[in-house]
Amino acid sequence: MVVLVGDARPRGMADVERLARVRYVRESELADALPGADVLFVWDFLSEALAGAWPRAGGPGWVHIASAGVDRLLFPGLVEGDAVVTNSRGIFDEPIAEYVLGLVLTFAKDLHTTVRLQGERRWRHRETERVTGARALVIGTGPIGRAIGRRLSAAGLAVSGAGRTARDADPDFGTVHPVERLDEALGRAHYVVLAAPLTAQTRHMIDSAALGRMRPSARLINVGRGALVAEADLVGALQAGRIAGAALDVFEDEPLPESSPLWDMPNVVVSPHMSGDVIGWRDELVRMFAGNLDRYLSGRPLRNVVDKRLGYVGSQRAPADQRG
């Protein structure tokens, strides 16, 4: 087994090391380590080195990533090959949903302004907004989007979703709008929450045209992928007052460059890609992988198998020649 690490190795790997011969590598060593490996655990889930290091022949039959997003794995060599891909779905759902609810409350109750004014020792009374009855559109109807929908509904918001397939009477969203027909849904929402995967179809889905359809009082919250938003278009919309604010946990370039105007906008909340990272999350990631490794070695169906061409997640039995 190969484990791709960044600055630090994962802790709590004793159970994994009892089940397999483990080699920890950095990006510069990855290409040499992959041929002949049975399993790849992508611990450094922000790395983009795998596409360039993937062997033309041979290589791991199973690739697991320590994140919910798999866009960095969906390069042609891996998509078109036989390797099974799994992700860490389930660990981040509720923490991200809690984070989004916190951001909605921050905007509605103007908490970010309160903190700023406190730092300036300024006493300035304001009136705030209700969240009860406000309309939220969650773009992305996977597990994270659904957790967000449930959490916002419980707080009194009227929630709808947007995804690949239109439907009514959805248990978490009520109405799900097709992504290709977002115009009316964007125009009705007070909060637009991005929780979609990054694909060729969703890249820059929130551009100047989409922002122009939103209400001037609307806020955009992105906990999906930075490239879902055309960042320059968003900056322009915020500066022109075409939308009321944005809370961004992900960006096209991370860390967000110091030169970005987003840092200094009073109607923008910037956080460093941390919406799903609660105390103990790294240990949970290792436990999930260890459990899946046990399933892999015993020939049972793997959990969180990703349809590499569509991004769907299900379960799949590892082929006999891939069980190590």
pLDDT (tens digit per residue) in 57-76: 888 999 999 999 999 999 99
Which band of pLDDT confidence, cut at 50, 70 and 90, is reported for residue 310? Answer: confident
The mean per-residue pLDDT over the stretch 86-93 comes to 97
- pLDDT tens digits, residue range 29-50? 999 999 999 999 999 999 999 9
The mean per-residue pLDDT over the stretch 80-107 comes to 97
Catalytic residues: 225, 254, 273
The mean per-residue pLDDT over the stretch 276-288 comes to 98
User: Measured between alpha carbons, how far apart are the two ends of the chain, in Å?
Assistant: 10
User: Helices (DSSP H) in the chain: which residue ranges?
Assistant: 14-19, 27-33, 50-53, 76-79, 93-108, 111-119, 143-154, 183-188, 208-213, 231-240, 281-298
Which pLDDT score, from 0 to 100, does residue 315 have?
A: 41
The mean per-residue pLDDT over the stretch 215-225 comes to 98
Q: Are 144 and 195 in contact (CB under 8 A)?
A: yes
Looking at the chain, the domain(s) classified CATH 3.40.50.720 span 2-90+279-322, 93-270
What's the CATH code, domain 93-270? Answer: 3.40.50.720
Which band of pLDDT confidence, cut at 50, 70 and 90, is reported for residue 311? Answer: low
Q: Identify residue 203 by its one-letter amino acid code.
A: R
Give which of 176, 181, 175 is closest to 165, Cα–Cα: 176
d(C-alpha 60, C-alpha 77), whole Å? 12
Q: Are 173 and 138 in contact (CB under 8 A)?
A: yes
Q: Could you give the C-alpha distances from 172 to 146, 149, 167, 178, 198, in angstroms and in order?
A: 6, 6, 12, 16, 22
Please give the DSSP secondary-structure letter assigned to residue 229.
B
- CA 25 to mean position of chain CA atoms: 25
The verdict on domain 2-90+279-322 having CATH code 3.30.70.1140 is no
Contacts of 21 (CB under 8 A, 6+ apart): 1
> At residue 324, does pLDDT exceed 80?
no
Percent of the chain with pLDDT over 90: 92
d(C-alpha 8, C-alpha 271), whole Å? 22
Tokens representing residue 128 in the block: 């705030």
Find the helix packing angle between 111-119 and 93-108, rounded to 10°: 70
